[in-house]
Amino acid sequence: MSAYDLLIRGGEAVLPGIGHAPCDIAIREGRIAAILEPAAPAEATASFDASGLVVMPGAIDAHIHLGHGKDISRPRVPDDATQESAAAAKGGVTTFISYLLASEPFEDILPDVITVTEAGSRVDFGYHPIISTEAQLKGVPAYVREFGAPTFKIFMNNRGGEGARLGLPDIDDGFLLRLCEAAAENGGMVCPHPETIELAWVMRDRAKAGDPDGRGGLATWNASRPPFVEADAVQRAAYVAKVAGCPLYVVHTSSSEALEAGLRQRAAGATVHLETCPHYLTHDIGWDGGDRGKINPPLREAVDREALWAAVFSGAIDTVATDHVHRDITSKTGGIWAASPGCPGLETLVPVLVSEGHHKRGLPLERIAELVATNPARLMGLAHRKGTIAPGFDADLAFLDLNQTWTLTADGIASSAGYSIYEGWEFKGSIVHTTVRGEFVLRDGELHEPAIGRGRYLHRRLRIGNA
């Protein structure tokens, strides 16, 4: 069997242990079959000219919310996955892992959710169950072994009725401990939303008293849930997880205080992995976009943004993910107190890091590949097939025109959100083509419609010592 299905010629690829180097990539049956010297003799059914492009491993966005309309709990119809996976393809994302929110046991809904998502998605995907009830806690062993879903979110702020808006019951630190124990016993990992809500209530009431109409916008929202609210929960969750022997993956780190809290616990022996999001690297409370920038945790001060960039460079931050929320712009009405938190980000994940990180700050492309591909694959139980350009791995590739400049406009947004906090931004570096398992989902900047429904659910298994 000497012939390949597809031969990618003429590009430079970001290769493990080498960096970006000229090479040809041979693909067979959806996987990378060989990395060849440029123009090496080879036979293939088809060839593709990648001259002038950098080929990166497809991004794995380990933090999105895939739902239906303004409901971000789960997709209800295939088109929900079709639209958001279109945004993924445009952003160089070839796999996403969505948080799955429900009050019923997940074994009752996961088969249907997987079927619906597979029917519509252009990219591969997984799910993180959000554990909130006793029945869900009891189901942890099955979620790991039968469904390959070993990563579990917990909303630490769901107390005093706070979870009611999501249809979830209250939990406490005892529940957190038992979840960490269950995850540890079954080869899982816990992903806390870290906020100490009792502290946030005090700060919210003070902020509202000083600014009842929310005229202070993003600064007021930050004041209502300041960094120490996040940092306190990070250190508490990490300590509890350490006691239970459970790895922790801290989502959407937004502030220098939360970062430092996680690093202190890491230095003390806890297994703590830290994620941040593009919007915390590019936006702060001085942004003039108004309530569109209401996110939870809030956008912070410029000094926090710079601390996160430093951690991205140093390796203290493990991953960058989007926390993509596809509610449309009408969810941002009513002022800062009433607006819904969250923003879309799938289609700008890699472009933001290339434009703002690589071109403006000198962040190596190899480090970007670690942050959005190799490390998410390793931490999320996909390192056996995703996240690396090497023989045996899925041919999930993002083709980057490193120097092309372009401006994001509303009419170019694929997500059902229909808006972006990056509208009007000029980017340097664009995703031109994207492949998932060797098939184009984006070609010459255009979505490849036959890719709809090719996405597959990924059974994940965490490797001992990787998390």
∠ CA 457-276-182, nearest 5°, is 55
Q: Residues 423-443: what's their mean pLDDT?
A: 98
For residue 52, is pLDDT > 60?
yes
pLDDT at 464: 60
CA-nearest of 61, 155, 148 to 103 is: 155
pLDDT at 2: 64
For residue 420, is pLDDT > 90?
yes
pLDDT at 443: 97
pLDDT at 44: 95
DSSP assignment of 137-188: HHTHHHHHHTT---EEEEETT--TTGGGGGT-----HHHHHHHHHHHHHHT-
pLDDT at 221: 98
Cβ atoms of 451 and 439 closer than 8 Å: yes
pTM: 0.97
In sequence order, the β-bridge partners of residue 71 are 68
Query: For the segment 178-227, what is each residue's pLDDT rounded down to a tens digit?
Result: 999 999 999 999 999 999 999 999 999 999 999 999 999 999 999 999 99
Site of tokens 């702060």: 284
> Could you give the 3-state DSSP secondary structure of residue 423?
coil
Strand order in the sheet with 31-36: 31-36, 24-28, 4-9, 44-49
Q: What is the Cα–Cα distance from 169 to 199, expressed in whole angstroms?
A: 19
pLDDT at 166: 86
For residue 21, is pLDDT > 70?
yes
Cβ atoms of 130 and 158 closer than 8 Å: no
Cβ atoms of 184 and 143 closer than 8 Å: no
Q: For 222-276, list the strands marked E by DSSP.
A: 248-250, 272-276
Q: How far is CA 166 from CA 53, 63, 128, 140, 160, in A?
A: 44, 18, 16, 21, 13
Q: What is the Cα–Cα distance from 18 to 31, expressed in whole angstroms?
A: 20
Q: Residues 371-400: what's their mean pLDDT?
A: 98
For residue 282, is pLDDT > 60?
yes
pLDDT at 267: 98
For residue 466, is pLDDT > 90?
no
Site of tokens 């970007």: 368
Query: For the segment 319-352, what is each residue's pLDDT rounded down to a tens digit?
Result: 999 999 999 999 999 999 999 999 999 999 999 9
For residue 171, is pLDDT > 60?
yes
Q: Is 285 exposed, middle or buried (0-12, 13-18, 19+ CB in 10 A)?
A: buried
For residue 394, is pLDDT > 90?
yes
pLDDT at 467: 54
Query: For the segment 345-371, what is each residue's pLDDT rounded down to a tens digit?
Result: 999 999 999 999 999 999 999 999 999
pLDDT at 45: 96
Mean pLDDT of the chain: 97
Q: How far is CA 36 from CA 30, 47, 61, 396, in A?
A: 17, 14, 28, 17
pLDDT at 7: 98
Q: What is the Cα–Cα distance from 18 to 10, expressed in whole angstroms?
A: 17
Query: For the segment 255-277, what is each residue's pLDDT rounded down to a tens digit?
Result: 999 999 999 999 999 999 999 99
pLDDT at 182: 98
Q: How far is CA 88 from CA 96, 248, 407, in A?
A: 8, 26, 18
pLDDT at 165: 83
Of all residues in the chain, the percent with pLDDT exceeding 90 is: 96
Query: For the segment 114-123, what is each residue's pLDDT rounded down to a tens digit?
Result: 999 999 999 9
Query: For the segment 406-415, what is each residue's pLDDT rounded down to a tens digit?
Result: 999 999 999 9
Q: Residues 434-448: what's their mean pLDDT?
A: 97
pLDDT at 55: 98
